[in-house]
Amino acid sequence: MQKNQDAKKSSDMEIEKSEKLFRSFSEQSFVGVYLIQGDKFVYVNPKFAEIFGYTIEECINSMLFHDLIHPDDLKLVQEQVRRRVAGEISSIQYEFRGIKKNKAIIHVEIYGSTIDYKGRLAATGTILDITNRKKAEQALLKSEHQLQTIIEHSNELFYIHDTNNILTYVSPTSQAFLGYPPEEMKMKWTKLTTDNPINLIGVEFRENSIKTGKIQKPYLLELKKKDGSIILVEVDESPVKDATGKVVEISGALRDVTLKKKIGNRLINSESRFRDLFNAISDLIYTQDIEGRFTSVNPAMCKAFDYKENKLIGRLASDFMKSEFVSAFKNDYMEPLKKNGHHEGTTIYFKRNGEKIYVEYRSVLVQPEDGEPFISGTGRDVTQKMLSEKKVAKLQEQVIQSQKMESIATMTSGLAHDFNNILYIIFGNTELALEETPKNSPAHAKLEEIKSASIRAEGIIKHLLNFSRKTDQKLKPISAVTVIQNALNFLRSTIPATIEIREHLTEANITILANSIQINQVLMNLCANASQAMEKTGGTLDVTVEKTTIKENSVTNFPDLATGKYAKVTITDMGTGIDPKIMNRIFDPYFTTKGKEKSSGLGLSIVHGIVKNHNGAIFVDSEFGKGATITLLFPMVDEKPKSKIQALGEIPRGNETILFVDDEKSIRIMARIMLKKLGYTVETLLDPIKALALFQLKPYSFDLVITDMTMPHMNGAKLSEKLMEIRSDIPVIICTGHSSLINEEKAEKLGLAGYIMKPVSISRLATSIRKVLDKQ
Q: Output the CA–CA distances (angstroms, integers) from residue 85 to 71, 92, 97, 113, 551, in the order listed.
A: 21, 12, 22, 9, 124
Contact call for residues 733 and 754 (beta carbons, < 8 A): yes
Cβ of 229: how many Cβ atoms within 10 Å? 11
DSSP string computed for 211-280: HH-PPPPPEEEEEE-TTS-EEEEEEEEEEEE-TTS-EEEEEEEEEE-TTT--TT-----HHHHHHHHHHH
Q: pTM value? A: 0.40
Evaluate if residue 719 carries a pLDDT over 90. yes
Q: In what order do the strands lie in the sheet with 754-757?
A: 681-685, 657-661, 704-707, 732-736, 754-757
CA pair distance 512, 618, nearest whole angstrom: 16
Q: What pLDDT was estimated at residue 732? A: 94
User: How confident is the model over 316-344, as a mean pLDDT?
Assistant: 86
**DSSP type of residue 700:** G
Evaluate if residue 299 carries a pLDDT over 60. yes
Beta partners for residue 234, in sequence order: 220, 255
Q: What pLDDT was estimated at residue 411? A: 66
CA pair distance 456, 462, nearest whole angstrom: 10
CA pair distance 674, 677, nearest whole angstrom: 5
Contact call for residues 475 and 465 (beta carbons, < 8 A): no
**Of the candidates 624, 629, 530, 621, the residue with the CA atom closest to the CA atom of residue 578:** 624
- 514-555 residue pLDDT tens: 887 778 778 888 888 888 888 788 888 899 999 888 887 654
With a CB cutoff of 8 Å and minimum separation 6, the contacts of 646 are none
CA pair distance 702, 718, nearest whole angstrom: 18
Q: What pLDDT was estimated at residue 484? A: 84
Tell me the residue length of the chain: 776
CA pair distance 105, 723, nearest whole angstrom: 107
Considering only 396-400, 693-697, 705-709, which range has the smallest mean pLDDT?
396-400
Q: What pLDDT was estimated at residue 15? A: 54
Q: For residues 723 and 270, which has the higher predicted lDDT (pLDDT)?
A: 723
- 42-77 residue pLDDT tens: 999 999 999 999 999 999 998 888 899 999 999 998
What structural domains does the chain harbor?
18-135 (3.30.450.20), 154-267 (3.30.450.20), 273-381 (3.30.450.20), 471-635 (3.30.565.10), 657-775 (3.40.50.2300)
CA pair distance 455, 354, nearest whole angstrom: 58
pLDDT > 70 fraction of the chain, expressed in percent and rounded = 84
With a CB cutoff of 8 Å and minimum separation 6, the contacts of 610 are 518, 519, 521, 522
Evaluate if residue 4 carries a pLDDT over 60. no
Q: What pLDDT was estimated at residue 744? A: 84
Asked if the bond preceding 197 is cis, omega within 30° of 0, the reply is no
pLDDT category at 266 given cuts 50, 70, 90 is: very low
Q: What pLDDT was estimated at residue 59? A: 92
CA pair distance 360, 385, nearest whole angstrom: 10
Helix (H, G, I), strand (E, B) or coil at 55: coil
Q: Which amino acid is at 642?
A: K
CA pair distance 167, 177, nearest whole angstrom: 15
User: How confident is the model over 116-129, as a mean pLDDT?
Assistant: 87
**Of the candidates 420, 513, 403, 401, the residue with the CA atom closest to the CA atom of residue 459:** 420
**DSSP type of residue 641:** P
CA pair distance 682, 660, nearest whole angstrom: 7
Q: For residues 644 and 356, which has the higher predicted lDDT (pLDDT)?
A: 356
The DSSP H or E segment spanning 725 is helix 716-726
Contact call for residues 148 and 243 (beta carbons, < 8 A): no
CA pair distance 361, 337, nearest whole angstrom: 12
Q: What pLDDT was estimated at residue 655? A: 93
* β-pair type (539-550, 284-288): unpaired
- 598-620 residue pLDDT tens: 444 345 777 777 888 888 888 88
Highest-pLDDT range among 508-517, 550-559, 766-775? 766-775
